[in-house]
A and B are shown apart, each in its own frame.
Chain A
């Protein structure tokens, strides 16, 4: 441990000793003021597409508000950890705004000012603006440096600058905001003869009141290749600007101490005849090929399959085969049932203001150009998520025989999918189709139907999209509802919208690597369409990735489980009840808390509630939560040289719940895919371990010895599709 970190740990421990025990909510919300009109909706804002990902990683939730609404009242503002703005063009904020902002900062709300300040030329001299900018620790010299060839970098913090892209010596123009407070920590500054004196202009800085990044110095965008790259390390910048992150962050990447893996399939191309090797000419539909080659061959890897209702409806091409394939697929124990809509909307955004007459007129216009007769079901394909561009562009929906109806689209398709599944196996998730921009009412309908929702985001981080800028945030707010994004993109973005080369999704491996290390940002998500079964090369790509994860140290879960974990990220409330103790409520399915600066600290199992274990990876500690615990209390303590007398779970492949400690052992239930691969920390000794099923039938029993490494390994060859109870009893523990 470095002296500084040791000092930090001692400081925390001292705080723990002297601080009074009063519950203090951790402020996790950041209010983003955005110009939704200019930026074409939240989805396209700079905040959503670039900033929300690092903020989510640090545990923060972004709440969007249109800048035209102004700031909310102070009583509301103080509940936010910070206010965030990133204006670039023609936003003219009035003096009232700056006055209110200053008051809020004085009340403890931090300000994250990216891009332009938003001050109008009329108000540039106003005291309100200068007071605001002064609170951040800056002084505006009222000059803009357009010519920069004779400017020079005066300060450059190597830890923060040059994250993905180097700072080019050819600086972009900058306003002459100079240091106005000794509290300001300058990370990047440039001097210019245009400013004069010895006052460099501040380009990146943080202060106790927040942070500032000048326009063009956070992210570089190159229009000619349409790519962005981070100059500033956004994780470090936000961590500094928002203050210490010494609180347990709700984590969406990890379960049972391991990186999450999940896979889901949109039903598009379900009934297409396969041309894959071994199936050419034998009239096998793609869904059958996927079942045979990708599902049944990997029983230890769960996969969520989204059926398009229209594909199995009477009159659809090969609907009988499609139904039979659905029955076989949904009968597989590792398959989770899902809906990929009833009529496969391509343009959800247009369905928000649906008009049947308009739709019929549009279909009539495209009918003469349709390659197939438009009759009962107008089966077309769309460029958005089927690959081939439909004649005349994408229609609003693939199946337009009946008028669009939210109830039929959501509940109807879920019921239809369930009807093809074994009795009692319920549809668990609704997978968005087409442009993946569902409107509020339809997202609400999925929630009211009791299912999770997923898709959109198109996360990539690879040679073609070589930046964190292409890792989508966790979700998109849709009115009062929330759309959960898939963790990775599907094959469409790798295959030129399914026009080939069809082996393009090989590149997914790079995204898995780069979103796993050095920062674990996302789970591994294998996301594809049923039409992958049409071709040998697409099947081979998927086999390649399935083989990879089969050998990998992962925790495989269903797609719905991931979506519900993300829901839990947003609902969770964290409060500090003692300097090193936190209570977490309303976490729903959230399964892991994470501490990024965990050096010098460890889990205190005796003082924690609902925490089964912990695993350390570098400085990061992942805490495994008991699924059945209503409220979690996480308590930390300094590392002890003495071995704990308690069993502490480290990691495993299954999710654990109903944990209870016994005198020198534990009982816990587990469920998952493949064998459990559990590792526990335990005192040296011998342990009797028994695994029983729900009826109390013993599935496995053994005696396990724990040596000086303190590791208790449990990995019987049993399946975990149904819950299994493990009883661990010490036979002869050595103190």
Chain B
């Protein structure tokens, strides 16, 4: 019992003493140098302490901030990368690292960072960057993949579903395309003509001509516009196997026309 108490006492002393040994005594000197604008001097002292960044968070904060203020971006980035790995519970190193990557990182680094953030915390801003750059590169599969993520997370708008539908159509995923395009065309009064026509053509191709005409008319096909009627009717070209649908369409359009 007595030994236990003595051991506990030593343990308590050790717990107090270790931080005292780790935390540098001349911390006030660093703060004074910073206050005096002697940033390089302060950084020199701090650089000697950063071997064990886990020991004292404030040392890490000061070192990184001073490095950034002095324009030593690579050094700051390396310290932050270590901290993110060693102390994953800390939020600020992630944010600071993200800022550095956003400012000076390569495009690949920026997109990787955005993807990592999105996986951790799905958000519209990162999704927009990921989708946008995939589209800019012409990487249809990557664009569709991110849009699907956004769809699952409830982060995309109807215009994105329109795009998703067109992407699915280009990938020959007819049913998927119809589903997305139907949602977009029914939900948006300003859905694009390519989306409407694609849906129309896909539905006729899927032997859903009657429904295709209904959707076209109910979603705003102006039957008084002869040119537009012609454009719709011309979509039948190449879909001869669904002649019945086509005939029905033409009859219905002509009957409905003023």
Which residues does chain B contribute within 8 Å of A106, judged by CB atoms? none
Asked if residues B238 and A540 are in contact (CB atoms below 8 Å), the reply is no
Asked if residues A168 and B71 are in contact (CB atoms below 8 Å), the reply is no
Asked if residues B132 and A147 are in contact (CB atoms below 8 Å), the reply is no
Closest 6 CB pairs of A and B: A540-B71, A193-B238, A280-B37, A225-B132, A166-B138, A149-B169
8 contacting pairs across A/B (C-beta < 8 A) = A146-B193, A169-B170, A194-B238, A280-B37, A501-B103, A506-B103, A536-B69, A537-B68
From residue 162 to 190 of chain B, which have CB atoms closer than 8 A to chain A? 166-167, 169-172, 177
Q: A147-B194, A535-B69 are in contact. List 14 more A-B contacts (CB 8 A).
A: A149-B202, A162-B138, A165-B136, A165-B138, A227-B133, A231-B138, A277-B38, A277-B69, A278-B37, A281-B36, A281-B37, A501-B99, A503-B73, A506-B104
Asked if residues A222 and B136 are in contact (CB atoms below 8 Å), the reply is yes
Interface: A581 (CB within 8 A):
no
Most buried by B among A146, A162, A165: A146
Q: How far is the CB of A566 from chain B (nearest CB, A)?
A: 30
Interface: A170 (CB within 8 A):
yes
Asked if residues B39 and A536 are in contact (CB atoms below 8 Å), the reply is yes
Interface: A150 (CB within 8 A):
yes
Interface: B220 (CB within 8 A):
no
Count of chain B residues with Cβ under 8 Å from any Cβ of A?
A: 50
Asked if residues A539 and B37 are in contact (CB atoms below 8 Å), the reply is no
Which residues does chain B contribute within 8 Å of A147, judged by CB atoms? 194, 197-198, 201, 235
Asked if residues B132 and A227 are in contact (CB atoms below 8 Å), the reply is yes
Most buried by B among A165, A222, A494, A543: A222
Q: Please name the residue on chain B nearest to A277 by beta carbon.
A: B39
Q: Please name the residue on chain A nearest to B42 by beta carbon.
A: A277
* Interface 0/1 of B134-174, CB less than 8 Å to A: 01111110000000000000000000000000110111100
Q: Please name the residue on chain A nearest to B129 by beta carbon.
A: A225
* Interface 0/1 of A535-547, CB less than 8 Å to B: 1111111011000
Complex alpha-carbon distance, A162 and B169, angstroms:
22
Asked if residues A224 and B128 are in contact (CB atoms below 8 Å), the reply is yes
B residues with a Cβ closer than 8 A to A are 36-40, 68-73, 99-100, 103-107, 109-110, 128-129, 131-133, 135-140, 166-167, 169-172, 177, 193-194, 197-198, 201-202, 231, 234-235, 237-239
Q: Please name the residue on chain B nearest to A143 by beta carbon.
A: B234
Complex alpha-carbon distance, A170 and B167, angstroms:
6
Supposing A169-B140, A170-B167, A463-B110 touch, asked if A222 and B68 sit within 8 A by C-beta, the answer is no
- For chain A, the bracket of interface size reads 35 or more
Most buried by B among A169, A220, A228: A169
Complex alpha-carbon distance, A589 and B182, angstroms:
63
Asked if residues B140 and A170 are in contact (CB atoms below 8 Å), the reply is yes
Where chain A touches its partner, the secondary structure class is loop
* Interface 0/1 of A264-300, CB less than 8 Å to B: 0000000000010111110000000000000000000
Interface: A453 (CB within 8 A):
no
Q: How far is the CB of B69 from chain A (nearest CB, A)?
A: 5
* Interface 0/1 of A476-498, CB less than 8 Å to B: 00000000000000000010000
Supposing A147-B198, A277-B70, A537-B69 touch, asked if A166 and B139 sit within 8 A by C-beta, the answer is yes
Asked if residues B231 and A146 are in contact (CB atoms below 8 Å), the reply is yes
* Interface 0/1 of A514-542, CB less than 8 Å to B: 00000000000000000000011111110
From residue 90 to 136 of chain A, which have CB atoms closer than 8 A to chain B? none
Complex alpha-carbon distance, A573 and B108, angstroms:
44
Complex alpha-carbon distance, A169 and B131, angstroms:
16
Asked if residues B104 and A504 are in contact (CB atoms below 8 Å), the reply is yes
Q: Please name the residue on chain B nearest to A279 by beta carbon.
A: B37
From residue 297 to 344 of chain A, which have CB atoms closer than 8 A to chain B? none
Where chain B touches its partner, the secondary structure class is helix
Interface: A618 (CB within 8 A):
no
Q: Please name the residue on chain B nearest to A221 by beta carbon.
A: B136
Q: Report which of A281, A463, A503, A536 forms a contact with B107, defined as CB distance below 8 A.
A: A463
Interface: A507 (CB within 8 A):
yes
Supposing A150-B238, A463-B107 touch, asked if A170 and B137 sit within 8 A by C-beta, the answer is no
Supposing A173-B194, A196-B237, A225-B128 touch, asked if A149 and B170 sit within 8 A by C-beta, the answer is yes
Asked if residues A538 and B71 are in contact (CB atoms below 8 Å), the reply is yes
Which residues does chain B contribute within 8 Å of A539, judged by CB atoms? 71
Q: Please name the residue on chain B nearest to A466 by beta carbon.
A: B107
Which residues does chain B contribute within 8 Å of A277, judged by CB atoms? 37-40, 69-70
Interface: A413 (CB within 8 A):
no
Which residues does chain B contribute within 8 Å of A506, judged by CB atoms? 73, 103-104
Supposing A166-B137, A536-B69 touch, asked if A149 and B177 sit within 8 A by C-beta, the answer is yes
Q: Please name the residue on chain A nearest to B109 by beta carbon.
A: A463
Which residues does chain B contribute within 8 Å of A194, judged by CB atoms? 234-235, 237-238
Which residues does chain B contribute within 8 Å of A169, judged by CB atoms? 140, 170-171
Q: How far is the CB of B13 from chain A (nearest CB, A)?
A: 41
Most buried by A among B100, B136, B193, B235: B136
Complex alpha-carbon distance, A539 and B166, angstroms:
49
Complex alpha-carbon distance, A222 and B171, angstroms:
20
Interface: A252 (CB within 8 A):
no
Interface: A455 (CB within 8 A):
no
Asked if residues A536 and B139 are in contact (CB atoms below 8 Å), the reply is no
Asked if residues A537 and B70 are in contact (CB atoms below 8 Å), the reply is yes
Q: Please name the residue on chain B nearest to A173 by beta carbon.
A: B194
Interface: A459 (CB within 8 A):
no
Complex alpha-carbon distance, A501 and B138, angstroms:
31
Asked if residues B170 and A170 are in contact (CB atoms below 8 Å), the reply is yes
Q: Report which of B135, B166, B194 forms a contact with A222, defined as CB distance below 8 A.
A: B135
